[in-house]
């Protein structure tokens, strides 16, 4: 959870401004994360090439739309709690704790390998936020649970391209986007 809580003058009934400030700070980081994800997904949409271009190109846009909807829900919840959502690119870059997406024009399988790691990171952080709101704000927790349902579904769509018939992910053990992209490409080249 971010260390600084916003100074707010009101919040929802039954919650202290201190509690709301903590949740607002947490939600602001989720907002940055999902804004970044939406931009990353569009980047992939524009830069995917190769034999599976159209399948991945068309799979990504509905994900972008739903992630953008999630950002709107986060921003509205921040406002409901008495905060001020910040969706500017500069605020995102200043606050983020992750690096920019590192894959440019590449084969579909390479982007999917990298996206697997992106989704893993986002889902882990979203789960932590969901757990942090369990006792203090079940309304926010419910929203985060619903968003997790969508994010996990999108990762499954990505992973379906990376999984062998035996259930092994080509990205298993990868710790960087370029590493995951390379592993996914290697497995695709070595399949009969």
Residue 11 resides in a domain: no
140 falls in which pLDDT band (50, 70, 90)?
A: very high
Q: What is the SS3 string spanning 72-106?
A: HHHHHHHHHCCCCCCCCHHHHHHHCCCCCCCCCCE
Q: Residue 2 above 60 pLDDT?
A: no
Residue 12 lies in a domain: no
Q: Is residue 62 a part of any domain in this protein?
A: yes
Q: Which one is predicted more confidently, 129 or 9?
A: 129
Give how many domains the chain has, as a whole number: 1
Percent of the chain scoring above 90 in pLDDT: 88
pTM attached to this predicted model: 0.93
pLDDT at 5 over 70: no
Residue 108 lies in a domain: yes
Enclosing domain of residue 142: 17-190
Instruction: State the CATH number of the domain containing residue 108.
Output: 1.20.1260.10
What percentage of the chain has pLDDT greater than the value 70?
A: 97
Measured CA to CA, the distance from residue 151 to residue 165 in angstroms comes to 23
Query: What is the pLDDT, as a whole number, of residue 10?
Result: 87
């Amino acid at each position: 959870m971010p260390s600084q809580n916003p100074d707010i003058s009101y919040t929802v009934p039954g919650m202290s401004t201190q509690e709301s400030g903590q949740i607002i700070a947490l939600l602001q980081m989720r907002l940055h994360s999902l804004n970044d994800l939406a931009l990353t997904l569009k980047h992939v949409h524009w830069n995917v090439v190769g034999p599976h271009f159209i399948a991945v190109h068309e799979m990504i846009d509905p994900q972008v739309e739903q992630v953008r909807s999630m950002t709107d829900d986060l921003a509205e919840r921040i406002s409901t709690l008495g905060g001020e959502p910040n969706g500017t690119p500069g605020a995102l870059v200043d606050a983020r704790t992750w690096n920019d997406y590192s894959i440019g024009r590449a084969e579909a399988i390479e982007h999917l390998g990298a996206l697997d790691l992106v989704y893993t990171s986002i889902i882990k952080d979203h789960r932590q936020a969901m757990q942090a709101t369990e006792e203090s704000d079940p309304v926010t927790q419910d929203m985060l649970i619903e968003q997790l349902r969508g994010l996990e579904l999108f990762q499954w769509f990505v992973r379906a391209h990376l999984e062998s018939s035996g259930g092994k992910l080509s990205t298993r053990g990868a710790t960087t986007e370029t590493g995951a992209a390379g592993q996914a490409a290697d497995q695709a080249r070595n399949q009969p």
